[in-house]
Structure 1
Amino acid sequence: MKNNQTSAFKVGGLSLAIASILGASALPLSAVAQQSEDEVIEEVVATGTRLKGTATAVLQERQNQAFVADILGAEQISRTGDGDAAAALRRVTGLTLVDGKFIYVRGLGERYSSTQLNGMTVPSPDPTRSVVPLDLFPSSIIESLNVQKSYSPNMPGHFGGGNVNIRTKSIPSEFVFNVSAGGGWNTQNSDTGVFYSGGGDDWTGRDDGTRALPDIISSGLAANGSAGFEGDRTRTLAETQDILSSFNWDIGPDEKSVDPNFSLGTTIGNNYVFDNDSVLGFLATVSYSNEWTVAEEMLGNDIGGGQENPRFTKYRDMVSTEQNVRWSGMFNVGYEYNSNHKVELVNMILHDMRDRVRDGYYFDESESNPGVEEFRRMDIIFEEREMVSSQLKGTHNFLNLLDGVFFDWYVGTSRASREAPDIMEVTFQQFYDESGALELERLDDTPGTNLNRQYQVLYDESDTYGFNVSTAFFGDGYDVELKAGMDYYDKTRDGNNIDLAVRHFGISSDFKEGSRLNKIFSQENIYNDDFYTSSTGRSVFQDNTGAGDKYSAATKLTAGYFMVDAFFNQKFRVSGGARYEDFQQVSIPFVEHSDTFADDTDAIVDSIYSETDVLPSLAFTYIPSEEMQYRFNISQTLIRPDLRDISSTFFIDPLTEFLVRGSPSLVETELTNIDFRWEWYMSQGNNLSIALFYKDMENPIEMVQFDGGEGVPQLLTANGQEGELYGIEFEFLHDLGFIGDNFSNFFVSGNMTLSDSEVTIGSGDQESLFSQQAREAYGGTITATITNDKRRLVGHSEWVANLQLGWDSDNGEHSASIVYNSFGERIIAPGVRGFEDGIEKPFHSLDAVYTYYPDFNTTIKFRVQNIFNDEKEIEQEGLTLRKLSVGTGINASITYNF
């Protein structure tokens, strides 16, 4: 729909006009059916490119939105072969992917963006971040991804880089039934992988209890608040033996080849038209995948040696094997009456299991033991992430009220969880003979070395509801839409981490020899009194769980907004309004293994974070012709600290494996956002756009590294004084027919973002928020600690590039794309003690996708990922802080439509 020469509200009636602004998922079934007839080009012989033909609706939606947005449709995602929302979104202008899960929009970290599912806020199963890991959402359930980069009052006020709305597939316009199967292999998987004995149900993505906290410990915690003994009484030797005996020690490691990757999926749906002008429809989809990855990994930390001769005093060189099992299910049912009233229920479950074991060389300069040649360290993590969501939503057009009233509403409840039972880490010493052969291996004898086992759980539950109501007025030369609404969101979180240690010094030296834990901790050894260095054996087992490892938290948001969207003379569009938000958040730590608050009531009340804000927004669009428009947006938004940001408890960041803690006195970041974009929509889907953006930040929330002495580097979440971000974006899509007739079936598309940023930390100002938060965390000032108190934002890349070359055959049976993605250097760990910042190097991703349509029902797809075989690498002072080889992936799949 074009709004340039005819009224944006009169085309197709009020309901269709507003629905087109809201997005394709809001269209009534009858409109979807009509739209599908125009867009499903598999049913006709394609004379142009398949992508351009199916992307028309996406382009029209972007063109008709009042605010700057980028939209990625299902066919575009399929074209690049991306398997989940996270991988797909890195194709959007100005977006980069971090850790395979989180999206940075225009160089701002994941905390500066928000994610919605069908317009509703959902909880996160990640304990280290409040945003939802986007790799949870498989492409099979996605209809489109809407990235809104300029703020509008109907969006959450927590808005920095942008808002990502994942819109799932809705009720089909006709009968749909398909099955799919796929398989794959990675060049890294040709090497032997390292394995351990897991559970028998790992293929289902769930632990069968093999990794569960032993009953003797869990019952002791429940009854006494201690691990298997009462109160402060000295543990007896028999109790220690029973505790050690209860753990699973049969964990390898073993070496063997890995299985090939495979995936399965099916979708079925239909609609039924009744005589009373009503439609009932449903859609069900299920998918399953099991993937293996063998990788070489290097990890270094704790720089020493001074700036003239920097070196890592600790590093690891290892081989890792990771299994990922993902399965999902979605069931939608919808009812529409008279094309003006529609109700839809969307239910889904997303499950993601990651099982990783790493084994290899470990070096620690501080661990000096005569005769020790090398250290070997093995660690294991098994985690299950799951999201269950139910959403009920409705849209209603009351055409007889005023000039028409449109009303939509939603109610949703969601649960997200993460369970990580028996996270384990152990270190061995290795001794070699004169010929270089391994002579002896034993548990590390270095004082203070432990075998660590952790049991982590996280449960998030949320309820949300809201509505929007709008009406339009038409006059001579103007059309005006008035819109208002409210949103409510309530989330609770419960987390617990049980940290247990088997202390090596509590075991007699004669029993430490060996490389397999099931031999060292055999039943015979455990129940041998000589196994222990003390008569009670109490020194061998230690509970390191601390206050704050168990916590509860709650977030509540009530919001309302009003906005106006007006057209004048079909040339000018003005949209604006304001949003009011009342926000409250609190995190309450507990005494370990109990329901007793770690802080007194007054401290808890003082820790409640409460803010009320009014957030204005204004957008202006000039439309000189049907093909061209100019946009200008200005708004004020904010970024609030999440639950982890205000907690003083340390956690391990999964990307860097650094220790991170928050600041209880953290305050919100206030942003002023300015956007300008020129858009040119040419014939046959060709398009070009250029955008300028600027963001001014007060009290930006940043990660800062501190000199914590020996050990793993420590990061603090703190407020800087000020920051700014500015840049330019280019995006284009054009066929190559202008070169010659032989190129008419080729097209090229791409985008590039060039930007810069600066944040002022303010370490020299002892009255700044930053200095206050540093004193809270470390008990003193840190003026001389930070290397650069003015630098780029953490995670910001000065350039981001995407390029795609596509081809479609004349008969529509063949389709191919070559897709490139890369980003510029970005800061991961700010430097301290004069050392420069830790920088993630560019990763150059080149993929090729070929699709064959042998008949009307069958689709065969081949994909090669990371053709360059590039590696992920983080450097600091010319040293490799982290390196991960990901290999080249080769995948094939087949889908059959009945």
Structure 2
Amino acid sequence: MNNFSLRLKYNKVASAIALVTLGAIAPSSYAFTEDNQETEVIEVRGIRGALASAANIKRESSGVVDAITAEDIGKFPDTNLAESLQRITGVSIDRANNEGNQVSVRGFGPTFNLVTLNNRQMPTSSTLLSNGINRSFNFREIAAESVSGVEVYKTGKAHVASGGIGATINVQTAKPFNYDGFKAVASVKGVVDTSVDKGDSVTPEMSGMISNTFMDSKFGVLLALSHAERDSHKERVGSQGWIPERGSNVNKSGIDSSLNPNGTHWAPLTMDADNHDYERERQNGQIVLQYAPTDTLTATVDYTMSRFKEIDNMTRTSFCLDGDTGGDADANGTVTNPFRNDDELNFWAFHFLNETENDSIGLNLEWIASDSLSFNFDYHDSTSHAQPDGQNSEFIINLKNPRVNDTNNDGIPDRGGVDVGYTTSPDGRPSVFFDAADLPGQDPFAKENIEFDLFQNRGLEIENNIKQFQLQGEWVNNGDGALAKISFGVMNTDYQIDTKMRRTIAFVPVDISTLDLQFRSSEGFGSQIGGNQNLFPLLADFNALEALDLVKEQGHFFELDPVFNSVQEETFSAFVAFDFIGDFNDIPYTLNVGVRWEDTDVKAVSLQREITALNYVNTVGRFSEVFTPDVNSVSLEGGYTRLLPNVDFSLELTDEIMARFSYSSTLSRPDISSLFPSTTIDARPTGPYNASVGNPNLKPLDSQNIDLSLEWYYDEGSYISAGYFIKYVENFIGVTTREGTMPDVNGNPLTDPSINPRPGCPDEVVGGNPACFSTQDDPAINFQIATPGNLDDAQIDGWELNLQHMFGESGFGVVANYTAVDGDVVYDVYDVNNTFALTGLSDSANLIGFYEKNGLQIRLAYNWRDDFLLALYQPQRGEPTFVEEYGQWDINASYEVSEAVSVFVEGINITEEVTRQHGRFKDQLLSYDQYGARYNVGVTVKF
């Protein structure tokens, strides 16, 4: 280590010691025992017991904390952690393949929340390019059976690691010292998915946990394992994006200038009908060893792993409205009946492979130094690796109708083939209509009228490693006085993420005569969506990997070199906190005051080949880049320091009524992909010309938070609460766009080879035709260059209302909650220059009814989420994506055959609801997704 690094470390430690010392002057808080107490899992039994336990955690915690606890050993309320979390007031979820995926809290999307496992920050990785590179944890990768509880910290705490301005979500797993002696549980279930088209409609899930203590309970071992398989199917109708000013034959007379003063119109990029067939496997395992050689020292070593693999074989029948699209624009500017004459159909096949390996090993030491002083040391080394074998994750093949002969004798082949149009019914359902084809037999679906177009081979390999240590101490006042305890600690987090991105696209001549290409009727396709009778009459069905094998066998396959990006963040932090307990005018109160200091250093590195020219491949696809043989390294650095105070004040107005006030300062760090200094180019003949550059010097989002709540605990497990929150957020990250040229390797502006094409160009020859490469004699391209930056401040506020009621000893109970969120960060659909809005902002509600008596448990749950902005940018263009309001009914029931054996059935999305996404306006359909219902039937045995 060099002298500078040693001085930097010394200064950070010295600052931390000074901060702890100064804590004697400045009040602060940290409720170590209260917030870190172990839950005796074996004592919690059934729905009522779990709800009562969660209510007690909420009541006894400082600040605003909600919780979920397991209903029994190995029994969590839902089959998926995210599905359980959405039952908490203020928590809503995103779904992937009809399964809880990521969570939003109080309107803040997944990237604004921090997820920890046993108070340790966990790494995450994802391989699909469409997911981007962020810090969002994927709950699909953790089996719910191994979880003993989840805490959701909605207010900042001095001892809690920073990173979540929505919330910090701590997932807790069991340890052998939680139990008294030998405990074991095993569960086997069959997953019945009603959507399955290809694959098994019934797949297995198995889980088990065994725990025991030895040597007079001084040594303990716990082992938990699970294995889950699931096959499923999804049908989708939609478009790849809505493009402003697309098409020159659009009738704009219907546009209302008071809504749309610029007269902008939007037309769809494509019209698609997709079939997805999924195969998923997940394994989870955990082993925990605990040793207490004395009554004052406990050592815990644990290893946690997960293996997640999902394959999505997808086919798409599609029509691209490129060129001179026509149609009529409505009052907003949406072309509701776009058409394109004499074009081709596209028949796509995709093979998506998403494979992730997560491993975490940790050591924890608890030492009770005296009756009043205790210490806790925790260290973990955790890694998440997407595509660990280096295999690409996305393989894409496109087939098409051929371009017909030159009928105008102008030297330009006509793209004739199919006349296709699109209409949107009043309820937003799509319809596609065909005119006669100019192809032989007027049949665009005949194999002799189909040829190979292109292949793509792309994806991300990501390795995210976190090394983190925490040293915390607590002094408890065993005498008199209002000061109950002082807590303090330091933490160091080394966050490293390395990415490798491949993106190869090539138009190649491949003989597909031996390809198993089938077409099936679209009758019944999208039956729950509606309007399916007016879709494509036939839908393509073939395998992307089989087609890719033909590309390889015929010598046309190649891969471009990957682009390497990495980010290293090192954060050193220290906290000190005080806990006060007393009476104010005979009213009991607790006061927690704390402060957390953090210093973060950021270094981002990109390795990529520089661009020498752009290659004019064809008239509709993007230019391909021509690169230098040598790799260039770009490195940039940044950093920031923050002081994060918090105050929690609670009044016990009566034995049943609690009032709370909380103030905290929290932060959320930028998405990883926005930090890369690398440059990307996306340019097409005649435009658009887009480029993007990262910004490693981005600052975190800073939030000042105020919470007020009133809670009435009127019976065991029953309470009513109302809370108001407001957040003042600074440094929201948006995208700044400027016009300018992009340099080639020699510093000269990149130019457009399609404006004055040379003879023989465009050319789709493998490896590129040098005659079609751009030169300095071509006109310079004026790019729209996007760069992320800290642009905006915002205010978000809302209400949380919650009711939990047990109807005496009848066995019946109900849970109802509602969250209303508002703010000045709503996307203005009429502003075509929008660069910023808060994703995930939406109201949500839950209604749960249950019955539990004489060994029988039944729970019926409805979850609703209002429409929300999912993303500022559609995958293909800079337009927003909205998810429409969605409600889902779930049910589960179990019966205890004996004290050791119970049987259960679970139903997910039992009314088979569909999800819908749209663009700037509701009639700009992006996706209608149909999944179907899923049921689990199984048995649990306890020993």
TM-score (norm 1): 0.75
State the partner residue of 1:853.
Answer: 896
1:482 to 482, 486, 492: 486
State the partner residue of 1:284.
Answer: 223
Q: Distance in 2 between matches of 1:595 and 1:173?
A: 65
Q: Check 1:735–1:522 CA distance in 2 against 1; reply closer, same or farther (3 A cut).
A: closer
Give the superposition deviation at 1:450.
2.6
Q: Does 1:378 align with 2:349?
A: yes
2:671 to 627, 642, 658: 642
Q: Check 1:664–1:54 CA distance in 2 against 1; reply closer, same or farther (3 A cut).
A: closer
Q: Check 1:336–1:750 CA distance in 2 against 1; reply closer, same or farther (3 A cut).
A: farther
Q: Distance in 2 between matches of 1:72 and 1:355?
A: 32
Q: Does 1:753 align with 2:753?
A: no
Q: Does 1:156 align with 2:198?
A: no
Q: Check 1:894–1:126 CA distance in 2 against 1; reply closer, same or farther (3 A cut).
A: same
Q: Check 1:834–1:457 CA distance in 2 against 1; reply closer, same or farther (3 A cut).
A: closer
Q: Conserved in 2, the CA contact under 8 Å of 1:706 and 1:786? A: no
- Secondary structure of 1:51's aligned partner: helix
1:560 to 570, 574, 591: 574
- AA paired with 1:884? D
Structure 1 runs (4+) deviating above 6 angstroms are: 76-80, 367-371, 508-523, 593-597, 658-661, 703-710, 713-716, 831-836
Deviation sequence 1:180-213 (CA, Å, 0-9, x none): 2111222212xx33xxxxxxxxxxxxxxxxxxxx
1:863 to 894, 898, 906: 906
State the partner residue of 2:66.
Answer: 70
Give the superposition deviation at 1:356.
0.2
- Secondary structure of 1:60's aligned partner: helix
Deviation sequence 1:386-426 (CA, Å, 0-9, x none): 110111112222334xxx11211101111110005352111
Q: Distance in 1 between matches of 2:738 and 2:806?
A: 52
Give the superposition deviation at 1:290.
0.7
State the partner residue of 1:318.
Answer: 274
- Secondary structure of 1:258's aligned partner: coil
Q: Check 1:292–1:341 CA distance in 2 against 1; reply closer, same or farther (3 A cut).
A: same
Give the superposition deviation at 1:469.
0.6
Q: Check 1:80–1:331 CA distance in 2 against 1; reply closer, same or farther (3 A cut).
A: closer
Give the superposition deviation at 1:61.
2.6
Q: Distance in 1 between matches of 2:547 and 2:598?
A: 59
Q: Conserved in 1, the CA contact under 8 Å of 2:101 and 2:138? A: yes
Q: Distance in 2 between matches of 1:835 and 1:488?
A: 38
- Secondary structure of 1:488's aligned partner: strand
- Secondary structure of 2:886's aligned partner: coil
- Secondary structure of 1:270's aligned partner: strand
State the partner residue of 2:495.
Answer: 491
State the partner residue of 2:34.
Answer: 21
Q: Distance in 2 between matches of 1:134 and 1:96?
A: 13
State the partner residue of 1:588.
Answer: 605
- AA paired with 1:824? D
Q: Check 1:116–1:501 CA distance in 2 against 1; reply closer, same or farther (3 A cut).
A: same
Q: Check 1:595–1:398 CA distance in 2 against 1; reply closer, same or farther (3 A cut).
A: farther
Q: Does 1:727 align with 2:806?
A: no
Q: Check 1:332–1:463 CA distance in 2 against 1; reply closer, same or farther (3 A cut).
A: same
State the partner residue of 1:221.
Answer: none
Tell which deviates more after alignment, 485-494 or 124-133. 124-133
Q: Distance in 2 between matches of 1:440 and 1:414?
A: 51
1:175 to 179, 182, 186: 182
Q: Distance in 2 between matches of 1:520 and 1:179?
A: 43
Q: Check 1:437–1:457 CA distance in 2 against 1; reply closer, same or farther (3 A cut).
A: closer
Tell which deviates more after alignment, 472-481 or 819-828. 472-481
Q: Conserved in 2, the CA contact under 8 Å of 1:760 and 1:789? A: no
Give the superposition deviation at 1:521.
7.3
Q: Distance in 1 between matches of 2:171 and 2:628?
A: 39
Q: Conserved in 2, the CA contact under 8 Å of 1:265 and 1:286? A: yes
Q: Distance in 1 between matches of 2:510 and 2:442?
A: 30
- AA paired with 1:405? L
Q: Distance in 2 between matches of 1:126 and 1:361?
A: 27
Tell me which protein shows more helix as a share of its residues: 1
Q: Distance in 1 between matches of 2:364 and 2:628?
A: 40
Q: Check 1:519–1:666 CA distance in 2 against 1; reply closer, same or farther (3 A cut).
A: closer
TM-score (norm 2): 0.72
- AA paired with 2:140? D
State the partner residue of 1:184.
Answer: 191
Q: Check 1:338–1:679 CA distance in 2 against 1; reply closer, same or farther (3 A cut).
A: farther
- Secondary structure of 1:362's aligned partner: strand
Pairs within 5 Å for 1:155-304: 155-171=160-176, 172-189=179-196, 192-193=197-198, 257-274=199-216, 279-300=218-239, 301-303=241-243, 304=246
State the partner residue of 1:820.
Answer: 862
- AA paired with 1:326? R
Q: Distance in 1 between matches of 2:386 and 2:566?
A: 15
Give the superposition deviation at 1:437.
7.9
- Secondary structure of 1:101's aligned partner: strand
State the partner residue of 2:649.
Answer: 620
Q: Does 1:696 align with 2:728?
A: yes
State the partner residue of 1:217.
Answer: none
Deviation sequence 1:462-500 (CA, Å, 0-9, x none): 211111111122554624211100111112222212333
- AA paired with 1:577? G
Q: Distance in 2 between matches of 1:836 and 1:499?
A: 23
Q: Distance in 1 between matches of 2:296 and 2:378?
A: 17
State the partner residue of 2:848.
Answer: 804
Q: Check 1:693–1:417 CA distance in 2 against 1; reply closer, same or farther (3 A cut).
A: same
How many residues are aligned here?
A: 736
Q: Distance in 2 between matches of 1:860 and 1:684?
A: 28
Q: Does 1:334 align with 2:368?
A: no
State the partner residue of 2:445.
Answer: 438
Q: Conserved in 2, the CA contact under 8 Å of 1:478 and 1:567? A: yes
State the partner residue of 1:57.
Answer: 53
- AA paired with 2:577? M
State the partner residue of 2:312.
Answer: 356
Q: Check 1:119–1:617 CA distance in 2 against 1; reply closer, same or farther (3 A cut).
A: same
- Secondary structure of 1:645's aligned partner: helix
Give the superposition deviation at 1:110.
1.8
Structure 2 residues without counterparts, runs of 5 or longer: 1-29, 128-132, 256-264, 325-339, 402-416, 418-438, 519-541, 610-626, 682-689, 741-751, 755-783
Q: Conserved in 1, the CA contact under 8 Å of 2:31 and 2:487? A: no
Q: Distance in 1 between matches of 2:122 and 2:32?
A: 23
Q: Distance in 2 between matches of 1:790 and 1:507?
A: 42
Deviation sequence 1:249-300 (CA, Å, 0-9, x none): xxxxxxxx534221112211111252xxx52111101110110111101341
Q: Distance in 2 between matches of 1:631 and 1:122?
A: 31
Q: Does 1:116 align with 2:148?
A: no
Q: Conserved in 2, the CA contact under 8 Å of 1:844 and 1:868? A: no
State the partner residue of 2:23.
Answer: none
1:678 to 705, 710, 716: 710
- Secondary structure of 1:123's aligned partner: coil
State the partner residue of 1:213.
Answer: none
Q: Check 1:794–1:892 CA distance in 2 against 1; reply closer, same or farther (3 A cut).
A: same
Q: Check 1:714–1:161 CA distance in 2 against 1; reply closer, same or farther (3 A cut).
A: farther
Q: Distance in 1 between matches of 2:787 and 2:869?
A: 15
State the partner residue of 2:937.
Answer: 892
- Secondary structure of 1:151's aligned partner: coil
Q: Does 1:577 align with 2:594?
A: yes
Q: Percent identity?
A: 18
Give the superposition deviation at 1:893.
1.3
- Secondary structure of 2:66's aligned partner: strand
Q: Distance in 1 between matches of 2:90 and 2:447?
A: 53
Q: Distance in 1 between matches of 2:726 and 2:478?
A: 35
State the partner residue of 2:405.
Answer: none
Q: Distance in 1 between matches of 2:888 and 2:651?
A: 38
State the partner residue of 1:772.
Answer: none
